[in-house]
Structure 1
Amino acid sequence: MSQRTFSVVICVYTEDRWTDILAAVESVRRQSLPPLETLVVVDHNPRLLDRLTEEFAARRDAASPGEEVRVLANAGPRGLSAGRNTGIAVARGEFVAFLDDDAVAEHDWLRHFAGGYDDPRVMAVGGRTLPVWASGRRPAWFPEEFDWVVGCTYRGLPPGRVAVRNVLGGNASFRRTAFDAAGGFATGIGRDGDRRPLGCEETELCIRLVRALPDAVLLIDDRAVIHHKVPVPRERFRYFRTRTYAEGLSKALVSHSVGSGKGLETERRYTTRVLPAGVARGLRDALLGRPGGAGRACAIVVGVASAAAGYAVARARSGVAFSHGPVAAYTPSPEGTS
């Protein structure tokens, strides 16, 4: 396998995650396949931008190949999608990988991504994201089928290296040419700082990508592992309910963009097969006296109902507006770069 060049994009927005951001960057620096560069994109937070610029400018002279870190200001509207587009626009690698700002990648993360691109039809490779619970362990009531609520790989995804409809954005990579064909991440769908926890921007992009390139293949390789922090507030049922409702809103936006056929294709299998099996498993555990069984079964039912409510509300609204224009539109200015 020839050496492949990766630009790694880490989007950040708050100083509250300072230690996590540094840990994420350090995990990229230690990859067995060194990246060409790490791009840290700051979402409309001048103080954090200045602090990170100073932090990595001080390290630049001592950096070895694969350790270059550039700090950029989000050149688009506030939010994760525009931040990613900012990184894509300046990336110099043949491939662009994305890592959450509160996650650390295992040593061979990029190497496993690279292996998936031996087939020239492969346009994206995602990985497996494991939760790191702030309380030390998974809440007994929290079903693995809903680990996507906290940005992690959930029960129901196939194991190994397999073709999928879409990769998960916090642990994913794309050929740089994929964005030339399909444009960037849609703004107006994904996260926007601390506002309502929307998502699905990577789903919308992946569906659009396959439409632009009908022979494209998208993979998940579960050996490409990252460990994602789950803070205590996100371990609570209130967040679970809020996030599932927001997912329904997001799915409606995706359906508006790409149609309900592709927009909900994977979700139909998930809701008709994976979730009923989860409810049955929870009820069985409850009957056997195992802790959390009834709670997990109830959480699945509530999660489905909440997502359905969000979907219905969003579909009833008019005037949905978002953009997935070319990433060149988000090229940063020289100011705010390191």
Structure 2
Amino acid sequence: MTITTSPAGTAEGAGAATGPSVSVVICVYTEDRWDDIVAAVASVREQSRPALETLVVVDHNPALLRRLAKHVGDDGCAGDGVRVLANAGPRGLSAGRNTGIAESSGEVIAFLDDDAVAERDWLRHFAEGYADPRVMAVGGRTQPVWESRRRPAWFPEEFDWAVGCTYRGLPPGKVPVRNVLGGNASFRRSAFELAGGFACGIGRDGDRLPLGCEETELCIRLTRAMPEAVLLIDDRSVIHHRVPAARERFGYLWTRSYAEGLSKALVTRSVGAQAGLASERRYTTRVLPAGIARGVRDALLGRPGGAGRAGAIVAGVAAAAGGYAVGTFRARRGGSRFAVAATQEPAGPRPPAEEAGA
């Protein structure tokens, strides 16, 4: 089921931009995030470089699908290219993203979390990255917006990935990386034609155990299919990601770390440990020990949260290691528990080059 409020792209809107045309995909699953979803879509509408279209993919929630369709239709949005459609695959974030890819028309597909808002130049910096034809993906910087209005004193910046944000240890600026982070990322359409879509069975599935790493697995597959491919992070492409109170607790950090270990086991089952854990080796041998040292130093100096941060890093590493061990055991017993989606063509005709901003 697809509800369209306007034709995808217009010469006056997306055609005014230079560089590749960009479709934005936002995957949603619960009415509990209604205000966040509305804010995410609004932030795309307000971009300095207009998106060709915004596709809001609803993950097996008919009530939310109807509500969004009514909101989009009644909100005076005609002409802005917002489309609401149902996830055509199995439940979960990966299948939702694959639905958006298949239905989109842009030369580049950007992904925005449903509980995040993008800064005004988010898409402009993404699009600039594709001037080099070797660049197949560009990610950005994700900043946490804590519901309590401040970072918990015990929460280490090294573990901001656990709440979907850019973490201490990632290089600053515009730099090549092994993989982009899925909630704030973009890919050339041809990347999916080369490597296929996101693997179902790795990423998020509503409120179940918070698995991840689907973008890591895809990026490794992509660079294997195209060894000369360049994947970038440009920290000028900024989004602000809401962190609810439930995720400010130690229990969530522990659970998310354990789930990350499970996910990494699936990734290494697919692409091998050398590729699947290349970035993690540097992170665990350099970034995390430095974080523990900072926490211990702050504790000795009487600064708040120092001991808590050091302890949280140790506990997080232990949880991730435990998850990896369990996931590896399960994978060896039962084989891989995910499937890679084949590339699909968009459901409708793509707009002419002049309308797509080419």
Cα distance in structure 1, aligned partners of 2:18 and 2:145: 34
Q: Gapped runs of 5+ residues in structure 2?
A: 1-16, 349-358
Runs of 4+ in 1 over 4 A off after TM superposition: 329-332
Of 340, 345, 357, the match for 1:324: 340
Cα distance in structure 2, aligned partners of 1:19 and 1:303: 31
Cα distance in structure 2, aligned partners of 1:179 and 1:197: 24
Q: Using the TM superposition, give the Cα deviation of residue 3 of structure 1 relative to its aligned residue in structure 2, in angstroms.
A: 3.1
Q: Gapped runs of 5+ residues in structure 1?
A: 333-338
Q: Structure 1 length normalisation: TM-score?
A: 0.95
Please list the CA deviations of residues 146-179 of structure 1 after superposition, one character each: whole Å capped at 9, or x if unmatched: 0000000000000000000000000000001100
State the match for 1:259 in structure 2.
Answer: 272
State the match for 1:125 in structure 2.
Answer: 138
1:273 lines up with 2:289 in the alignment:
no
Of 230, 250, 258, the match for 1:237: 250
Please list the CA deviations of residues 128-149 of structure 1 after superposition, one character each: whole Å capped at 9, or x if unmatched: 0000000010000000000000
Q: Which amino acid aligns with 1:47?
A: A
State the match for 2:310 in structure 1.
Answer: 297
Match of 1:2, SS state, is: coil
Contact kept, 8 Å, 2:98 with 2:341, in 1: the verdict is no
Of 27, 32, 57, the match for 1:41: 57
Cα distance in structure 2, aligned partners of 1:228 and 1:118: 28
1:198 lines up with 2:211 in the alignment:
yes
Q: Using the TM superposition, give the Cα deviation of residue 106 of structure 1 relative to its aligned residue in structure 2, in angstroms.
A: 0.0
State the match for 2:73 in structure 1.
Answer: 57
Of 99, 105, 110, the match for 1:97: 110
1:183 lines up with 2:196 in the alignment:
yes
Match of 1:328, SS state, is: coil
Contact kept, 8 Å, 1:253 with 1:314, in 2: the verdict is yes
1:152 lines up with 2:165 in the alignment:
yes
Cα distance in structure 2, aligned partners of 1:210 and 1:108: 27
Please list the CA deviations of residues 234-291 of structure 1 after superposition, one character each: whole Å capped at 9, or x if unmatched: 0000001000000000000000011001000000000000000000000000011100
Match of 1:184, SS state, is: coil
Cα distance in structure 2, aligned partners of 1:187 and 1:331: 21
Q: Using the TM superposition, give the Cα deviation of residue 330 of structure 1 relative to its aligned residue in structure 2, in angstroms.
A: 9.7
Cα distance in structure 2, aligned partners of 1:299 and 1:194: 23
Cα distance in structure 1, aligned partners of 2:289 and 2:345: 44
Identity of matched residues, %: 74
Q: Using the TM superposition, give the Cα deviation of residue 54 of structure 1 relative to its aligned residue in structure 2, in angstroms.
A: 1.2
1:74 lines up with 2:87 in the alignment:
yes
State the match for 2:4 in structure 1.
Answer: none
Cα distance in structure 1, aligned partners of 2:107 and 2:222: 17
Contact kept, 8 Å, 1:7 with 1:93, in 2: the verdict is yes
CA 1:329–1:93 in 2, change beyond 3 Å: closer, same or farther? closer
Contact kept, 8 Å, 2:200 with 2:341, in 1: the verdict is no
Q: Using the TM superposition, give the Cα deviation of residue 59 of structure 1 relative to its aligned residue in structure 2, in angstroms.
A: 3.6
Cα distance in structure 2, aligned partners of 1:248 and 1:12: 25
Q: Which amino acid aligns with 1:114?
A: A
Q: How many residues align?
A: 329
Q: Which amino acid aligns with 1:63?
A: A
